[in-house]
Structure 1
Amino acid sequence: MRAHSGRLVYELDEWEVDLARRELRARGVPVPIGGRAFEIIEVLVRSAGELVTKNDLSARVWPGAIVEENTLQFHISAIRKALGSDRGLLKTASGRGYRLIGAWTSRQECTLSGDSIDLEPMRSPAEPFQTNLPAAASELVGRTNAMQHLRGLLSAYRVVTLTGPGGIGKTRLALEVARGLFPSFQGDVRLVELVSLSDPALVPTAVTGGLGLKFGGDEISAESVARAIGAQRLLLVLDNCEHVIDAAARLVETIVRMCSRTTILATSREILKIEGEYVYRVPPLDVPSQHEEPDDILGRSAVQLFIATTRALHSDFPPNGENLAAIAAICRRLDGIPLAIDFAATRVATLGLQQVAASLNDHLGMLTGGRRTALPRHQTLRATLDWSYELLPEPERLVMRRLAVFAGDFTAEAAGSVAAAGEISVSEAVCSLANLVTKSLVTLEAGGVIAHHRLHETTRGYALEKLVESGEFDQVACRHANYYRDLFDRAEIELETLPPPAWLARYGHQIGQVRAALDWAFSPAGDAEVGVALTVAAVPLWVHLSLTEECRGRVERALSGPAESRDARRNMQLYAALGAALFLTKGSCPEMVAAFASAFEIAESLDDTDYRLRALWGAFMEHITSLRYRAALAVAVKFCSYATKSTDPADGLIGDRLAGVALLALGELESARRHIERMMGRYVARTSHTIRFQFDQQLLAHSYHCRILWLQGFPDQALRSIESHLVAARTSDHPYSLFSGLLQTACPVALLVGDLTLAERYVKALMDLSARHAVELWTLGGRCFGGMLLIKRGDIGAGLEFLRAAFARVPQGAFTLFYTPVLAEIGDALGRDGKAAEGLSIIDEALARSDSNEERWCVAELLRIKGELILREGAPQAAAAAEEHFLRSLDWARRQGALSWELRTSTSLALLQYNQGRIAESRSLLQPVYDRFSEGFETADLKTAKAYLNSWK
């Protein structure tokens, strides 16, 4: 690959400072350290042991900013902590500055290896930095110093964990810090809420959702998430880690190790206990002492929060005189816990301040007794929750405990449907919900088009206890599961009316509710029938979120019970969903074949055209990936036959596309083009087609059409079509389809026409896509094309090594129309590299494959390359043998109407004839083929042919 660029690395004994990767490493292992702290190390290591003054260091690390001395000391402390037992390497000259001692040496490391390709990015509009942080519902009171301190911590450390008891305000503080950093962060700031997870294995999946990643078929793991993040600058906020602490710790440790520009801010009642973690124990708000003056009382943060909350409901509340003493007593009694103070303050409007103070004092005194336990704030908050709950009228108590079944946020409609039963109506439930919001027991998040509510995790835990104690848990959980089953039944209908981004904005965040409902439904006390119905209804959600592994696991769970416990339609739907999920996660496999076969058998018995077609799509994919193209064509014909009974006219057109792909593979180009163009001319895209048949059908049709255009001698039209359909693929927000367009068409056609600059862009785009979605198979495909690009640029040895290493790991049926032409490229390159005998062996293997599976579309090129290799080998009678293969190649190309193959072979044969002195014969062969082209005269093959013709005059 062109020039090798260098990367400067400083080293001393076991330590390395990698300036390009921004890594401090010990024994080759990255040591977690914040961005500003690393910049200090960089300044010091570049100074070669010389003293760097404090002023100079501050000016170079914080240019244009006024930096207090304690801020610099704070970061120096973080560096010493990272150096561990070698902290003495960082020396302080008292009152003057710092130096990094030791005989540090520097070396240049090559940035180009078998694992990376230095290519320019594909042109696309600049994207702004992203965040999914919710808007602040109200001002965060009393945390100014904490926020400033945390901003410093996040520039010095890679992992900062906010810890403390429930209700202390960890989440609100983390979100406020993140919101404050976002405008100047120069990277994405993302929130991932873990509170709704019951399965620790879903932690990486939750993070992919929060980051907006869409994975392919590979398993979602800590490593795949880290690979997808890569080198992008990111502040990741992980909220409520304690109940999945081990999984969260593994994920954070992996991200910190693999992603040098990612910083993590976590909230958890339990610390992560990983290397490089800085633990910040969130303090309670500042409370007044027993005998403070009024002005001092008003300066306490706990009092400020109490007054702000009270005034939000009671605007003329007068915080003075006797009131201040009562407020101070309440804040002291509540230990400065923000959530408890909110509860108490909201009661002032209805009970009055003195009544709140008296009743709280009595209640807490009775519940906590005189002697405190080891966790006094937990005890205080529990007592405050009891007090708040007992003050509620019975309808509000009932609604509050029933709301505990929701995992995460919910709408008022959902709350009314789930909480209303027996003695309370929907309208009463919604009214009670509003009252619970005013009493700070439920949070209202009104940032979007639809307002959402949620219980604070501490309040939810308390309410869940009350729900279980009431004996209602299973009934409420059943209503919750039924509600979301009905919701996603409606959502599937809306797939046809809402664009995918709008559909996801409305339903994507409900994944936590689906998980919670399914966990209950398949529990011993649950309702498996409801679970099966919800599983079927939620399949489009998993597909849209690219959670194919999770979809497969949930469907397998739904199928694990006795088949007779489900009706035939449900079994059919589950088998079809399982087949699709297996195809996307494991490729064509016996389990996928069995699942689609079961779906088809039931669909036949039910005379269900829709599911017949889904099952036939699965059978088609199994044949096409197993390289049984004639069988694939037969299935496509069968698909078209059944599609005549469908109410959706597009189904027949999708059948045309399937037939066109099979015909293309078989080398029947004109018929393939006719089928695909019929589909392209009449098809109207619908989201449901992507759900049913896994890919954007229109984009796939364009992909194969482009390849046919090139084969038939229309390279310019092929390139224009590629550009237009890749733009559409980008906007479709469907990574599978974009990947298919790049791998099936853009990369190979750009290489075929010889536009290496364009090919470079496409290969880089493919590699970026595979890294973004952490799909190893996609990465291997991209590396194969990267190797071909090197070969085309003349670096044959390196290109071959790169290509063969990647190709050896690609399963034979992984990509349609991929394996055989790559074998051809390897064989041809071996000949160019002086290894014609080895190349002939490869080409003979490709020809044997072509003969056995009837993959005829590139047989002309295989025969041409074999002829060239025979000439390179130089055996006796080589010219005659080569000419025989060239003539066979021409015969295939002409019968198929593959003008581009015909031109290549005519050029090879004409050159052979010219070298034998058959000059007139060579011109009479090549000129008519060249003259049949009406475009593409700047492409490589046509320019080569033209150059020969001009020189043979």
Structure 2
Amino acid sequence: MPDKHNQNSAISFGSFRLLPNLRLLEKDGAPLQIGGRALDILIVLAEQAGEVIEKRELVKRVWGDVNVDEGSLRFHITALRKVLGDSSKGARHVVNVPGRGYCFVAPLAAAPSGASQAHVAASRSLPPPPAKMIGRAEVIEKISTGLSLHRFITVVGPGGIGKTAVAVAVGHRRLADFKGQVFFVDFGTLRDSNLVETTIASALGLTGSSEDPVPGLLTYLRSGPLLLIFDSCEHVLDTLAPLTERIVRDVPQLHVLATSRESFRSDGERLFRLFPLDCPPQDENLTAADVLSYPAAQLFAERVARSTGRFELSAEEAPLVADICRRLDGIALAIELAAGRVNAYGIAGTASLLDSRFSLQWRGRRTAVPRHQTLSAALDWSYNLLSATESATLRGLSIFVGPFTLQAAAAVASGGGLSASEAIEAIDSLVTKSLIAPSGAQVMRYRLLDTTRTYAHGKLEDIGEARRLARRHAEYFRDLFDRAGTETSLPLPAWLSIYGPELDNVRAALDWAFSRDGDAPLGIALTGAAVTLWVRLSLFAECRERTRTALAALGETADGDRVRMHLLAALGLSLMYGQGRAREARPILEATLGLADRLNDNDFRLRALWGLCIDQFNNGEFGEARALAERFTSAATESPDKTDLMLGDRLMAVALHYLGDQAAARIRIDRVHASLHVLADKPKIFPLDLRTSTQYFRARILWLQGLADQALELVARNIEEGRMAGHALTFCSVLGQAACPIAFLSGDFDGAESYATELLEHAERHAIRPWAIWARAFNAIVSAKRGNIETGLLLLREQLDNAGDTRFLPRFLPLLGELAACFGEAQQVDRGLEVIDDVLTRCKNRQERWYLPELIRIKGELLLREDRHSALADECFGEAIEIAGQQGARFWELRCAISIARFKIGLDQNGAALEILENVYGSFKEGSDIADMRATRELIAQLRS
């Protein structure tokens, strides 16, 4: 048995040798690759060989107070057995004792005094291996392997990310390969770069009084394979870089592993950039187990358990821990320091303090090097090494929130004696020094880690420069979005890839501008400029609130009429598209139109007329909507933008469609379709993608005209176009205006449900409330159609009640018709008739005729459920098919024909039933696979037989 108190003792069994202190497992003298947890388990079991270790005890000794399940233990036991070669027929080292735990059963041998003792003696300068390396196993393996291919590797990353711990772990991993000749040289405490050579010699155990220690150093290094670990090199690079380049060149068996916040830029150097620990994403649905699957959260939990005792992450605290890890950017030191505060402040309290400069002063381990005892000390270390230009640039960049472009950085950080070219050069240097992180793929962006930004912004406030930089920041984004709003050469996805990532900086600039120390006129101008961004991101709620804030700050000054007109137009549009049937939208848009007429601004006249027309659609005033569409078309003839005339045709097509004139609507929508090739980009007054939105209205009209195959094919293409367009509101409309209802009417309930589920997810993600309510109600009628009448009816009524005024939108009309039909299926005919009569009155008052044949047909079906009303049902069917014929709505004709045929079959009038079915069916040239066509064929076959 090994001496349990002598941690330097080797444990030998068979061809294996285990060195617990070095965290090293060898086989036949060669180190083995083994996971950290599996190695911990082996050390515990081997040190008590022959004894059964209970599972709970084993988990506690390996994981500490972090709560893990037994499955994790079994997983790592399996991994350990695989490394040791355990099998049911071969050697066995670790066995399971049912009901108790695990036992190490391999016979132990006395450890030879040769290699392992040499390792311990020769590696006296190498710090002990980290107790637990979380999330770095793959990194350690890559660097360790890399040292076999390259003789000089520098691990680069910001302060506190864990460079030293990784380097030390790699050193222990490679001890055997270098026969124990691994030496650790810490430059962190060195203040005089003239002592670099002496520091290296001292770490190697060399002594001498020579003024030039390099020759002796080179002589010693040539004695055999050797690994030098140079730690914290950034402040002595001017001296250390050329020396390292020389010794690597002159000593072929020497390998160097360095850690630094910037590269050596030396010949032969290979960079390994150490990235932060992976953090949980921003997802409300993550469970505690999901959060703890990320290394950053694992480190946080392990450190909390170490300082507070047993720790189990609750479901309520999981999002907070995920947020803490993200806001600390996965920086190991920052996470450890935050975890150390949990005992005093709790999880929620710790999270709330992260934004304060106070968090930079949280203290860590007393035994840590001074520069790692607080975040502030770690950042002081880097900041104090900067030149005056670099430090000024870093302070200026702290005004940004999230990623920023090089152009934005140069424009904002310059000034105050600093030129744009100097700022760009300083940014390049700050990236090299790991104080700025590159970010982005299509467009290169940069960002400060949150802790760095907090630190630098504190410095900015200390010298009284924060207000000047905040103003430059707001002015830059005002000018940027003034230009972006007139950009017509880019398709929407490309436009959003460039300007979408600027949203957080726009928000920060507006928050400052409307603050007590801000600049309200600048905020008003920025609000007007940013409207295009909010609209194209479908952020209508934010657009609504921001424009209201700007309008309140603007007041009633006469010289602000042009800005007021711009803001009112944006507010009216955001009310309509964000809330649906918004009662306050109309007076706002009428005020916009009045200002546009007074200022003779045809552009905003068109915007106001467009908004008012859409408002009339939403409120069901289709006659008035048509009149406004005509006014819009007349004004569009004076516009130099050809797109405006296309918009006039689209408005008229929609009006005619809802008024029930499908033939005239088809002429208008086809004219828009034929002109789409001249469209350079999305029209400035139209919040949807015009190409995509034209097609979903074409699909609706084609469907009603009985061209089912064309409509279904168009829907399929339209969905793909909608996804590619990248515009949230457009895609919601694609799904809700065409895909869902056409799939439902075709009898494809699986497809209808799938589309509605996707619509709901999309609408909720982008906070488009009217579509979210509609999607839930639509799924309820799908459920009812599948036979779940009771459940479907309950859910449908609930969602329609939640809709409030939104249910007066045209898209809700079929849901109300299906509500009446569901009442009939549930044997509540009176309630169904009550609903249908209310809806028919609505259609009459609003001239809402497009769905009228189906409503009247549904009323006839309800009346048929009461025998005494059969004559009234016959009248309804007759009226419905007549109106459908007048509208050119052949699909409604088909449905009416089926109802009439079934009614006549019930009266033994089979001949009349067959005649009407054959007349209608024969006029269809496509759509043979949809449910109503199949039903018609079945009835015809039945009647003919």
Q: Cα offset for 1:881?
A: 1.9
| Secondary structure of 1:936 counterpart | coil
- Measure the CA separation in 2 of the matches of 1:397 and 1:178: 23
| Distance in 1 separating the partners of 2:830 and 2:290 | 43
Shift of the alpha carbon at 1:855? Answer: 1.0
Letter paired with 2:884:
A
Identify the range of structure 1 (472-481 vs 533-542) with the bigger mean alpha-carbon deviation. Answer: 472-481
Indicate yes or no: 2:671 matched with 1:678: yes
* Pair 1:285–1:500, CA change in 2 (3 A): farther
Q: Which residue of 2 aligns with 1:555?
A: 547
Distance 1:743 1:866 in 2: 25
Contact 1:228 / 1:773 at 8 angstroms: preserved in 2? no
The range that moved more, 533-542 or 521-530, is 521-530
Check whether the contact 1:626–1:813 (CA below 8 A) recurs between aligned residues: no
Question: For residue 931 of structure 1, what is the aligned residue in structure 2?
Answer: 922
Instruction: Report the equivalent of 2:371.
Output: 336
Q: Deviations over 1:766-787 (max 9, x none)?
A: 3443454465543432232222
Secondary structure at 1:683 match in 2:
helix
Larger deviation, residues 523-532 vs 466-475: 466-475
Residue 933 of structure 1 aligns with an amino acid whose one-letter code is F
Residue 702 of structure 2 contacts residue 711 of structure 2 at CA under 8 Å; is this kept in 1?
Answer: yes
Q: Secondary structure at the match of 2:498?
A: helix
Instruction: Give the match for residue 733 of structure 1.
Output: 726
Question: Does 2:593 align with 1:520?
Answer: no
Deviation at 1:545, TM superposition (A): 3.7
Residue 497 of structure 1: which of 479, 482, 489 is its match? 489
| 1-structure distance, mates of 2:923, 2:445 | 65
1:682 deviation in Å? 0.9
Alignment match, 1:909 = 900
- 1:363 alignment partner in structure 2: none
Give the TM-score taking structure 2 as reference length. 0.64
- 1:723: Cα distance to partner? 0.9
Question: What aligned pairs does 1:567-606 form with structure 2 within 5 A after superposition?
Answer: 567-606=560-599
Q: Give the deviation of 1:609 after TM superposition.
A: 2.3
The alignment partner of 2:865 has SS state of helix
* Structure 1 match to 2:79: 65
Change (3 A) 1:419 1:703: closer
Among 657, 665, 689, the residue aligned to 2:658: 665
Distance 1:787 1:378 in 2: 54
CA-based RMSD: 4.6
The residue identity in structure 1 corresponding to 2:346 is: K
SS of the residue corresponding to residue 685 of structure 2 reads helix
**Aligned AA (2:874):** E
Paired residues, number: 685
Alpha-carbon distance in 1 for matches of 2:564, 2:288: 38
Corresponding residue of 1:807: 800
Which of residues 754, 757, 765 is equivalent to 2:750?
A: 757
Instruction: Tell me if the contact between 1:712 and 1:900 (Cα under 8 Å) persists in the aligned partners.
Output: yes
Residue range with higher mean Cα deviation, 429-438 or 825-834: 429-438
Check conservation: 1:488, 1:537, Cα contact below 8 A.
Answer: yes
* 1:708 is aligned to 2:694: no
User: Counterpart amino acid of 1:897?
Assistant: G
1:794 aligns with 2:787: yes
Alignment partners' CA distance in 2, 1:854 and 1:499 = 37
**1:511 alignment partner in structure 2:** 503
Indicate whether 1:417 and 2:431 are aligned: no
Letter in 1 for 2:658: A
Write the distance in 2 (CA, Å) between the matches of 1:385 and 1:227: 36
Q: Equivalent residue for 1:766?
A: 759
Tell me how far 1:57 sits from its aligned partner.
Answer: 4.1
Conserved 8 A contact 2:403-2:439: no
Corresponding residue for 2:738?
Answer: 745
Q: Secondary structure of the equivalent of 1:924?
A: helix
Q: Which has the larger radius of gyration?
A: 2
- Counterpart of 2:624, as a letter, is A
**Compared with structure 1, are the counterparts of its residues 613 and 841 closer, same or farther at alpha carbon in structure 2 (3 Å cutoff)?**
same
- Tell me what 2:164 maps to: 142
Instruction: Work out which of the residue numbers 875, 885, 889 in structure 2 matches 1:884.
Output: 875
* Rounded Cα–Cα distance in structure 1 between residues aligned with 2:664 and 2:613: 18
Amino acid at match of 1:869: L
Offset, 1:577: 1.6
Provide closer, same or farther for how the CA distance between residues 591 and 790 of structure 1 changes in structure 2, counting only shifts above 3 A. closer
User: Do 1:700 and 1:737's aligned partners in 2 also have CA atoms closer than 8 Å?
Assistant: yes
- The one of 506, 509, 531 aligned to 1:539: 531
Matching residue of 2:219: none
Contact 2:853/2:881 (8 A) holds in 1: yes
* CA distance in structure 2 between the partners assigned to 1:178 and 1:439 by the alignment: 14
1:251-296, Cα deviation, whole Å (9 max, x unpaired): x998767999999665375657348999999999999x9xxxxxxx
Q: Is 1:629 the counterpart of 2:631 in the alignment?
A: no
Confirm whether residue 427 of structure 1 aligns to residue 421 of structure 2: yes
Unaligned runs of 5+ in 1: 1-35, 37-49, 70-90, 98-134, 149-166, 182-188, 192-206, 212-224, 242-251, 290-301, 303-331, 338-375
Match of 1:941 in 2: 932
TM-score w.r.t. structure 1 length?
0.63
Q: Residue 897 of structure 1 is aligned with which of 888, 892, 896?
A: 888
Pairwise CA distance, 1:584: 3.4
User: Structure 1 842/694 Cα, relative in aligned 2: closer, same or farther at 3 Å?
Assistant: same
SS in 1 for 2:926: coil
Q: Given the superposition, is the C-alpha separation of residues 716 and 803 from structure 1 closer, same or farther in structure 2, using an over 3 Å criterion?
A: same
Q: Report the Cα distance in structure 2 between the residues aligned to 1:695 and 1:232, rounded to whole angstroms.
A: 37
Q: Report Cα offsets for 1:788-836 as digits up to 9, x if no partner.
A: 2233223333332232222232234457433332222122232233222
Aligned 8 A contact 2:780 2:793 in 1:
yes
Greater alpha carbon shift after TM alignment, 833-842 vs 762-771: 762-771
Query: Which is further off, 252-261 or 660-669?
Result: 252-261
Distance 1:743 1:230, change over 3 A: farther
Report SS of the residue matched to 1:563: coil
Q: Deviations over 1:672-723 (max 9, x none)?
A: 1111111112124868636632222232222222222221111222111111
**Displacement after TM superposition at 1:868 (Å):** 1.9
Aligned-partner residue type, residue 939 of structure 2: Y
Matches within 5 A, 1:360-371: none
The answer to whether residue 814 in structure 2 is matched with residue 859 in structure 1 is no
Partners in 1 of 2:446 and 2:863 — Cα distance? 74
Q: 1:830 to 1:463 in 2, by over 3 A?
A: closer
Instruction: Name which structure has the greater RCO, CA cutoff 8 Å, separation 6+.
Output: 1
Please give the secondary structure, in 2, of the residue aligned with 1:809: helix
513-522 vs 445-454, greater mean Cα deviation: 445-454
Q: Deviations over 1:152-176 (max 9, x none)?
A: xxxxxxxxxxxxxxx9xxxx9xx99
Q: Which residue of 2 aligns with 1:215?
A: none
C-alpha deviation, 1:506, in angstroms: 2.7
What corresponds to 1:405 in structure 2?
399
- Structure 1 residue 645 corresponds to structure 2 residue 638: yes
Cα distance in 1 between the residues matched to 2:292 and 2:766: 17
Shift of 1:760: 3.5
SS of 1:560 mapped into structure 2 = helix
Distance 1:734 1:623 in 2: 24
| 1:406 match: secondary structure | coil
What CA distance in whole angstroms lies between the structure 1 residues aligned with 2:938 and 2:538? 50
Does structure 2 conserve the Cα–Cα contact (< 8 Å) formed by 1:859 and 1:889? Answer: yes
C-alpha distance in 2, partners of 1:836/1:379? Answer: 74
Separation in 2 of the partners of 1:868 and 1:413? 67
- Does the 8 A contact of 2:606 with 2:635 survive in 1? yes
Aligned residues of 1:235 and 1:264 also touching (Cα < 8 A): no
Q: Which runs of 5+ in 2 are unaligned?
A: 1-36, 38-53, 60-69, 84-97, 105-154, 171-231, 233-260, 262-271, 301-312, 329-334
How far, CA to CA, are the matches of 1:435 and 1:266 in structure 2? 25
SS of the aligned residue for 1:857 comes to coil
Mapped partners of 1:639, 1:594: distance in 2:
18
CA distance in 1, matches of 2:613, 2:889: 25
Offset of residue 733 of structure 1: 1.5
| Correspondence 1:52-451 to 2 at 5 A | 57-58=71-72, 61=75, 65-66=79-80, 93=100, 140-144=162-166, 267=328, 273-274=346-347, 335-337=370-372, 377=374, 380=377, 388=385, 392-393=387-388, 398-421=392-415, 423-434=417-428, 442-445=435-438, 448=441
Partner amino acid for 2:828?
K
